[in-house]
Chain A
Amino acid sequence: MTTPAPIAASTESAPRPDPAAVPALSIDGISHAYGPRRALIDVSFTVAPASFTALLGLNGAGKSTLFSLITRLFGIQTGRVGIFGHDISQNPGEALRLLGVVFQPRTLDLDLSLTQNLLYHAALHGISRREAAARTAELLGRIGLADRAGNKVRDLSGGQMRRLEIARALLHRPRLLLLDEPTVGLDVKARADIISHVRQLVTEQGIGVLWATHLFDEITGNDDLVVLHQGKVLAKGPVGRVIAEAGAQDVNSAFMRLTGAQTMPGGGA
């Protein structure tokens, strides 16, 4: 919308840059307003490849708005979003093909079978039927639902639906995965399964993950953390550093301190 994005500049194309140098996701000065209400205010952070970044915020903090901007459901008003260096406004096709998303509301066709849901998604990404069938069978096996392949999605449990949605998001082999509160409404076991599955994707397949949540116990010591409150980023960085800088003992108390400080004048990060 403003200046042309310096995407994959030709000057640096000869020696392949270190992949770690290009963030999987870069959010740069994003602000967004719904009429007079400001949902996001100058939000900036990055997600490194093969990292697990937790986006922590209460309901209404702006997490879903941010997801809608990253996935191009809303147009960007101010700032830039880049996925592996591809600007989402300038070059949406290249950016979106590297991106997998699990939205907070369920987005499966309940009356279609598991396989049909996955094949539809593959078609949306232009993956040929034969290739799609192979990937579908493989992914359904990996999430332990191969024997349910022909069943209607309606018959699955909440946890199984989420697993299926994650499998669907991985079908086109993205390198960045966004998950918007994926464990909401799941029981303890299903939650743990989903979390460990996604963490496995980070370590084994090198996928960069942005995990939006309001649940402190889903964050571990090795993660990166972005604290979003009332549309502003209050803190970001490795979990240990965020806790230390807040002078707190754990994520929970760090969050309380950070958001408590927000009520004082000039308390923004």
Chain B
Amino acid sequence: MSSITTRDATPRGFPLSAYMTCLTGIVWREGLRFLHQRERFVSALVRPLVWLFIFAAGFRQVLGISIIPPYETYILYEVYIAPGLMAMIQLFNGMQSSLSMVYDREMGNMRTLLVSPLPRWFLLFCKLLAGTAVSLLQVYAFLIIAWAWDITPPPLGYLTVLPALILSGLMLGSLGMLISSGIKQLENFAGVMNFVIFPMFFASSALYPLWRVQEGSPYLYYVCQANPFTHAVELIRFALYGQINWISLAVVAACTIVFMIGAIYAYDPSRGLARRGPAGGEG
């Protein structure tokens, strides 16, 4: 192949630096857009804080928490749900990024992205990383406020949780992207809230430890166990205390790969988008 010369002067393919330029460009744009949407940042923070300040305070007396790994002492309910709320931030952000892709596609911005000569899987991966980067900003802002509320994981935990957050952010982002490829219009996002976000959040270990769920309903326990979101929460929970939950890591990594391949497949021109018919003003 290397002996084949092109008719134009430009060399074939792209150097690694072009990929890096593209990646930073996409992350940079996503960051700029995020900064322009202050309401989005505020609501992304208010949501988990409402849970933390109100829900957790109310439930503190109702739900006692025994000593379960990774915790070494009895903990307050607030401390227990903090990792779940971090994952919730990422869940909402992943779905919101998917919303922005539907919006982008309607506005035509998605076209700008997809006519880039770089491989499409790479463009979508950059988009996912950009969404994850935005979710990291939100999660760390939440952690700062939570710290003032006496949720104080070990200092090193703030660092060790980072890789876990990147992985869970990618998983939830690619799930959102996969779902967005099947959404035609913005209105359908309400359906995503009802059928994806709420079930995923409530049928998980975010709000209550699974052993308590098992006491209440063995059936629900299995649903929670099979829910990838449970494993995102547990991965974050353990990482925040400098530990690795290997099962959760495996599940989250596997789900990330599956969702990502699915999303890239769905955005392949010869498959997903092609079936959908004209994207904009047909004429």
Contacts and interface: CB of A to CB of B under 8 A. Distances in A.
B117 A34 contact: no
Interface in A10-30: 10, 13, 16-17, 19, 22
B64 interface: no
Contacts of B26: 120, 123-124
A105 B114 contact: no
A41 interface: no
Contacts of B118: 93, 124-126
B6 A8 contact: yes
Interface residues of A, number: 63
A73 interface: yes
A129 B21 contact: yes
Contacts of B10: 97
Contacts of B274: 74-75, 77
Nearest to B105: A73
A190 B271 CA distance: 39
A22 B7 contact: yes
A190 to B, nearest CB: 19
A63 B278 CA distance: 11
Contacts of B282: 39, 59-60, 64-65
A99 interface: yes
A199 interface: no
Interface stretch (A106-114, A133-141, A255-263): A106-114
Interface string B87-127: 00000000000000000000111011111111110010000
Interface string B1-26: 00111111010111101110110111
A84 B281 CA distance: 27
A126 B6 contact: no
A175 interface: yes
Contacts of B283: 57-61, 63-64, 104, 181, 214
A75 B268 contact: yes
Given A105-B281, A126-B18, A16 B7 contact: yes
Contact of A123 (B28, B115, B268, B271): B28
Contacts of A34: 277-278
Contacts of B268: 75
Contacts of B120: 92
A76 interface: yes
B270 interface: yes
Interface string A34-74: 11000100000000000000000111110111001001111
A97 B11 CA distance: 11
Contacts of B13: 93
B112 A74 contact: no
B50 interface: no
Contacts of A246: none
Given A93-B14, A93-B119, 16 more contacts: A8-B4, A8-B7, A58-B283, A60-B282, A61-B283, A64-B282, A71-B115, A73-B111, A94-B117, A96-B117, A101-B115, A106-B108, A112-B36, A116-B32, A124-B25, A124-B112
8 contacts: A63-B283, A73-B269, A73-B279, A92-B117, A103-B108, A123-B26, A124-B123, A175-B8
